[in-house]
A = this chain, B = another copy of it.
Amino acid sequence: MPFTYNRTVRFSDTDAAGLVYFANVLSICHEAYEASLEASSINMKDFFSNTSVAFPIVHADVDFFRPMFCGDKLAISLIPQKVGVDKFEIAYEVVVDNVMVAKAVTRHVCIEVSSRSKRELSGELMRWLETNRRDAESAERRRSREAM
């Protein structure tokens, strides 16, 4: 099963149109990424304020299918994938009541903070990628079997 993060839409996520403000959906996806890293015992404080290695986002995109309202119970599942020696990508699906309401992608590069030059993905991150990839694949296989 892909890692799934449950999150209630909060008042501060919304805007005057009464819905979740568009950019906040990407923040919520990033929370799912953080929760998934934590589930692999990665220390948040070290990971996100590391002064030697960092994984900045170089690209993000998001598609919205349905509006999200205050109080909605979101289930965000994510599938990360290595896309180069120094890059990975995460695909997110945001679901409310079994209906997909949004889809997003973030692409990250691994850099040395001082020089901001690229470097190979760290062992810690490789393990996280493998665990989550495997989880996602076994979910995929199960779904294919069920579909037969």
B-side contacts of A11, CB under 8 Å: 15-17, 21, 30-31, 34, 44, 48
Say yes or no: is A43 at the interface (Cβ < 8 Å to chain B). yes
Give the contacting residue for A15; candidates B16, B22, B23; CB below 8 A.
Answer: B16
What 15 additional pairs, Cβ within 8 angstroms, besides A16-B70, A23-B26?
Answer: A8-B38, A8-B44, A10-B27, A10-B30, A11-B15, A11-B48, A12-B23, A17-B54, A22-B57, A23-B24, A26-B26, A34-B71, A45-B70, A58-B64, A61-B61
Copies of this subunit? 4
Chain A positions within 8 Å of B, measured between CB atoms, are 8-12, 14-19, 21-24, 26-27, 30-31, 34-35, 38, 43-45, 48-49, 54, 56-64, 67, 69-72, 106, 116
Min C-beta distance of A127 to chain B, whole Å: 18
